[in-house]
Amino acid sequence: MTGSDAGTIIAGCTALLLAACAGGEPRTSRPAESAPAASVADSARPADQPTVVFLGTSLTAGLGLDPDSAYPAVVQRLIDSAGRHFTVVNAGVSGESSAGALRRIDWILKSPPAVLVIETGANDGLRGQNPDSTRANIQAIIDRVRTTAPRTRIILAGMEAPPNLGLEYVRRFRTLFPDLARANHITLIPFLLYRVGGVDSLNQPDGIHPNAAGARIVAQNVWKVLEQVLP
Protein backbone atom coordinates (compact mmCIF):
# COMPACT_ATOMS: atom_id res chain seq x y z
CA MET A 1 0.00 0.00 0.00
CA THR A 2 1.40 3.39 -0.97
CA GLY A 3 1.59 6.51 1.18
CA SER A 4 -1.23 8.06 -0.82
CA ASP A 5 -3.34 4.96 -0.23
CA ALA A 6 -2.76 5.24 3.52
CA GLY A 7 -3.70 8.91 3.44
CA THR A 8 -6.88 8.09 1.60
CA ILE A 9 -7.81 5.46 4.18
CA ILE A 10 -7.13 7.86 7.07
CA ALA A 11 -9.21 10.59 5.46
CA GLY A 12 -12.07 8.18 4.93
CA CYS A 13 -11.94 6.94 8.51
CA THR A 14 -11.93 10.51 9.83
CA ALA A 15 -15.10 11.20 7.85
CA LEU A 16 -16.65 8.07 9.32
CA LEU A 17 -15.84 9.19 12.85
CA LEU A 18 -17.37 12.62 12.30
CA ALA A 19 -20.54 11.00 11.01
CA ALA A 20 -20.70 8.72 14.02
CA CYS A 21 -20.47 11.69 16.35
CA ALA A 22 -23.33 13.29 14.43
CA GLY A 23 -25.50 10.23 14.89
CA GLY A 24 -24.06 8.00 12.18
CA GLU A 25 -26.04 5.79 9.86
CA PRO A 26 -29.49 7.25 10.49
CA ARG A 27 -31.67 4.66 8.82
CA THR A 28 -31.68 1.00 7.92
CA SER A 29 -32.11 -0.48 4.51
CA ARG A 30 -34.35 -3.17 5.98
CA PRO A 31 -35.26 -4.41 9.48
CA ALA A 32 -32.65 -6.65 11.04
CA GLU A 33 -35.07 -9.55 11.27
CA SER A 34 -36.43 -9.27 7.73
CA ALA A 35 -35.37 -11.64 4.99
CA PRO A 36 -32.42 -10.43 2.92
CA ALA A 37 -33.34 -10.00 -0.71
CA ALA A 38 -31.28 -11.08 -3.69
CA SER A 39 -29.35 -8.08 -4.90
CA VAL A 40 -30.48 -8.70 -8.46
CA ALA A 41 -34.09 -9.85 -8.75
CA ASP A 42 -34.23 -12.48 -11.46
CA SER A 43 -37.13 -14.88 -11.54
CA ALA A 44 -35.27 -16.91 -14.18
CA ARG A 45 -32.62 -18.01 -11.69
CA PRO A 46 -33.09 -21.62 -10.52
CA ALA A 47 -34.50 -21.82 -7.00
CA ASP A 48 -31.75 -24.27 -6.05
CA GLN A 49 -28.91 -22.17 -7.48
CA PRO A 50 -26.11 -21.79 -4.88
CA THR A 51 -25.90 -18.44 -3.15
CA VAL A 52 -23.25 -15.94 -2.15
CA VAL A 53 -24.50 -14.12 0.96
CA PHE A 54 -23.09 -10.74 2.00
CA LEU A 55 -23.53 -10.27 5.76
CA GLY A 56 -22.81 -6.61 6.35
CA THR A 57 -23.57 -3.05 7.37
CA SER A 58 -24.85 -0.05 5.40
CA LEU A 59 -21.79 -0.37 3.17
CA THR A 60 -23.22 -3.67 1.97
CA ALA A 61 -26.88 -2.66 2.15
CA GLY A 62 -26.11 0.21 -0.23
CA LEU A 63 -27.47 3.04 1.92
CA GLY A 64 -28.41 5.96 -0.32
CA LEU A 65 -28.15 3.95 -3.54
CA ASP A 66 -30.58 2.24 -5.83
CA PRO A 67 -30.48 -1.46 -4.89
CA ASP A 68 -29.01 -2.33 -8.29
CA SER A 69 -26.09 0.04 -7.62
CA ALA A 70 -25.04 -1.43 -4.25
CA TYR A 71 -21.78 -3.33 -4.56
CA PRO A 72 -23.35 -6.82 -4.04
CA ALA A 73 -25.58 -6.16 -7.07
CA VAL A 74 -22.52 -5.18 -9.09
CA VAL A 75 -20.82 -8.38 -7.93
CA GLN A 76 -23.83 -10.33 -9.21
CA ARG A 77 -23.31 -8.85 -12.66
CA LEU A 78 -19.61 -9.73 -12.51
CA ILE A 79 -20.52 -13.30 -11.58
CA ASP A 80 -22.97 -13.49 -14.46
CA SER A 81 -20.45 -12.04 -16.90
CA ALA A 82 -17.95 -14.69 -15.84
CA GLY A 83 -20.48 -17.41 -16.61
CA ARG A 84 -20.68 -18.54 -12.99
CA HIS A 85 -24.05 -19.71 -11.72
CA PHE A 86 -24.54 -18.19 -8.29
CA THR A 87 -27.20 -15.90 -6.83
CA VAL A 88 -26.04 -13.00 -4.66
CA VAL A 89 -28.04 -12.26 -1.52
CA ASN A 90 -27.58 -8.84 0.10
CA ALA A 91 -27.97 -9.29 3.86
CA GLY A 92 -26.68 -5.84 4.79
CA VAL A 93 -28.27 -3.88 7.64
CA SER A 94 -27.35 -0.26 8.27
CA GLY A 95 -25.88 0.62 11.65
CA GLU A 96 -25.33 -2.98 12.66
CA SER A 97 -22.46 -3.92 14.97
CA SER A 98 -20.58 -7.20 14.97
CA ALA A 99 -22.79 -8.27 17.89
CA GLY A 100 -25.85 -7.68 15.72
CA ALA A 101 -24.33 -9.72 12.89
CA LEU A 102 -23.72 -12.55 15.35
CA ARG A 103 -27.36 -12.44 16.43
CA ARG A 104 -28.46 -12.84 12.80
CA ILE A 105 -26.11 -15.58 11.67
CA ASP A 106 -28.23 -18.54 12.75
CA TRP A 107 -31.17 -17.19 10.76
CA ILE A 108 -28.98 -16.70 7.67
CA LEU A 109 -27.60 -20.23 7.97
CA LYS A 110 -31.08 -21.75 7.75
CA SER A 111 -30.30 -21.84 4.03
CA PRO A 112 -26.52 -22.37 4.00
CA PRO A 113 -24.80 -20.36 1.26
CA ALA A 114 -21.99 -21.59 -0.92
CA VAL A 115 -19.99 -18.53 0.15
CA LEU A 116 -20.49 -16.14 3.05
CA VAL A 117 -18.81 -12.73 2.87
CA ILE A 118 -18.57 -11.18 6.34
CA GLU A 119 -18.44 -7.37 6.33
CA THR A 120 -18.81 -6.26 9.92
CA GLY A 121 -16.93 -4.30 12.56
CA ALA A 122 -16.94 -0.86 10.94
CA ASN A 123 -19.61 0.41 13.31
CA ASP A 124 -17.74 -1.11 16.26
CA GLY A 125 -14.75 1.00 15.29
CA LEU A 126 -16.85 4.13 14.90
CA ARG A 127 -18.19 3.65 18.41
CA GLY A 128 -14.78 2.94 19.89
CA GLN A 129 -15.74 -0.53 21.06
CA ASN A 130 -13.05 -2.82 22.38
CA PRO A 131 -11.38 -4.56 19.41
CA ASP A 132 -11.20 -7.73 21.49
CA SER A 133 -15.01 -7.74 21.62
CA THR A 134 -15.22 -7.28 17.85
CA ARG A 135 -12.71 -10.08 17.38
CA ALA A 136 -14.72 -12.39 19.65
CA ASN A 137 -17.97 -11.67 17.82
CA ILE A 138 -16.48 -12.34 14.41
CA GLN A 139 -14.81 -15.50 15.71
CA ALA A 140 -18.18 -16.64 17.04
CA ILE A 141 -19.74 -16.04 13.60
CA ILE A 142 -17.00 -18.09 11.95
CA ASP A 143 -17.42 -20.87 14.53
CA ARG A 144 -21.17 -20.93 13.99
CA VAL A 145 -20.70 -21.25 10.24
CA ARG A 146 -18.14 -24.01 10.64
CA THR A 147 -20.48 -25.94 12.94
CA THR A 148 -23.76 -25.39 11.13
CA ALA A 149 -22.65 -25.17 7.49
CA PRO A 150 -19.17 -26.70 7.19
CA ARG A 151 -19.30 -26.64 3.37
CA THR A 152 -19.80 -22.85 3.30
CA ARG A 153 -16.68 -20.96 2.26
CA ILE A 154 -15.97 -17.81 4.27
CA ILE A 155 -14.50 -14.50 3.16
CA LEU A 156 -13.74 -11.78 5.70
CA ALA A 157 -13.65 -8.12 4.67
CA GLY A 158 -11.06 -6.00 6.46
CA MET A 159 -11.88 -2.55 7.80
CA GLU A 160 -10.03 0.41 9.33
CA ALA A 161 -10.74 2.35 12.53
CA PRO A 162 -10.83 6.17 12.74
CA PRO A 163 -7.33 7.54 13.49
CA ASN A 164 -8.80 9.93 16.05
CA LEU A 165 -9.15 7.01 18.46
CA GLY A 166 -5.40 6.76 18.78
CA LEU A 167 -2.61 4.83 17.11
CA GLU A 168 -2.84 1.87 19.48
CA TYR A 169 -6.57 1.45 18.90
CA VAL A 170 -6.12 1.77 15.13
CA ARG A 171 -3.37 -0.87 15.20
CA ARG A 172 -5.41 -3.32 17.29
CA PHE A 173 -8.47 -2.84 15.10
CA ARG A 174 -6.59 -3.17 11.81
CA THR A 175 -4.79 -6.36 12.82
CA LEU A 176 -7.84 -8.23 14.10
CA PHE A 177 -9.04 -8.96 10.55
CA PRO A 178 -5.86 -10.53 9.13
CA ASP A 179 -5.30 -12.28 12.46
CA LEU A 180 -8.74 -13.89 12.26
CA ALA A 181 -8.22 -14.85 8.64
CA ARG A 182 -4.90 -16.53 9.41
CA ALA A 183 -6.13 -18.28 12.54
CA ASN A 184 -9.20 -19.69 10.80
CA HIS A 185 -7.64 -20.30 7.37
CA ILE A 186 -10.22 -18.14 5.62
CA THR A 187 -9.85 -15.69 2.76
CA LEU A 188 -9.35 -11.99 3.47
CA ILE A 189 -10.30 -8.87 1.53
CA PRO A 190 -7.56 -6.62 3.00
CA PHE A 191 -9.65 -3.40 3.00
CA LEU A 192 -13.18 -3.27 1.59
CA LEU A 193 -13.00 0.46 0.76
CA TYR A 194 -9.58 0.38 -0.88
CA ARG A 195 -9.29 3.22 -3.44
CA VAL A 196 -12.71 4.55 -2.33
CA GLY A 197 -12.50 5.64 1.32
CA GLY A 198 -11.79 9.36 1.61
CA VAL A 199 -12.16 10.04 -2.13
CA ASP A 200 -14.84 12.74 -2.43
CA SER A 201 -15.77 11.91 -6.01
CA LEU A 202 -16.46 8.28 -5.10
CA ASN A 203 -18.62 8.92 -2.06
CA GLN A 204 -22.04 10.35 -1.33
CA PRO A 205 -22.33 13.84 0.22
CA ASP A 206 -22.11 12.31 3.72
CA GLY A 207 -18.49 11.40 2.95
CA ILE A 208 -19.11 7.90 4.29
CA HIS A 209 -21.02 5.74 1.88
CA PRO A 210 -19.78 5.03 -1.65
CA ASN A 211 -21.77 6.46 -4.52
CA ALA A 212 -22.55 4.34 -7.58
CA ALA A 213 -19.05 4.84 -9.00
CA GLY A 214 -17.46 4.02 -5.65
CA ALA A 215 -19.63 0.92 -5.28
CA ARG A 216 -18.33 -0.36 -8.61
CA ILE A 217 -14.76 -0.10 -7.30
CA VAL A 218 -15.71 -1.82 -4.05
CA ALA A 219 -17.28 -4.59 -6.12
CA GLN A 220 -13.99 -5.02 -7.97
CA ASN A 221 -12.15 -5.22 -4.64
CA VAL A 222 -14.51 -8.01 -3.64
CA TRP A 223 -14.50 -9.77 -7.00
CA LYS A 224 -10.71 -10.08 -7.09
CA VAL A 225 -11.02 -12.31 -4.04
CA LEU A 226 -14.42 -13.91 -4.61
CA GLU A 227 -13.67 -15.22 -8.09
CA GLN A 228 -10.85 -17.32 -6.59
CA VAL A 229 -13.13 -18.74 -3.89
CA LEU A 230 -16.31 -19.62 -5.78
CA PRO A 231 -16.53 -23.40 -5.79
Res. 22: pLDDT tops 60:
no
Q: Starting at the earlier edge strand, list the strands of the sheet with 51-56.
A: 37-38, 87-92, 51-56, 115-118, 153-157, 187-189
Q: What is the pLDDT of residues 35-63, one digit of tens each?
A: 444 444 454 677 789 999 999 999 999 99
Residue 32, pLDDT score: 36
Angle at 41 between CA 53 and CA 56, to 5 degrees: 30
Residue 18, pLDDT score: 37
Among all residues, which ones are annotated catalytic?
58, 206, 209
Domain architecture of the chain: domains with CATH:
52-229 (3.40.50.1110)
SS3 88: strand
From CA 6, how far away is CA 63, in angstroms rounded?
25
Determine which of 45-54, 59-68, 183-192 has the lowest per-residue pLDDT on average: 45-54
From CA 126, how far away is CA 164, in angstroms rounded?
10
Q: pTM for the whole thing? A: 0.83
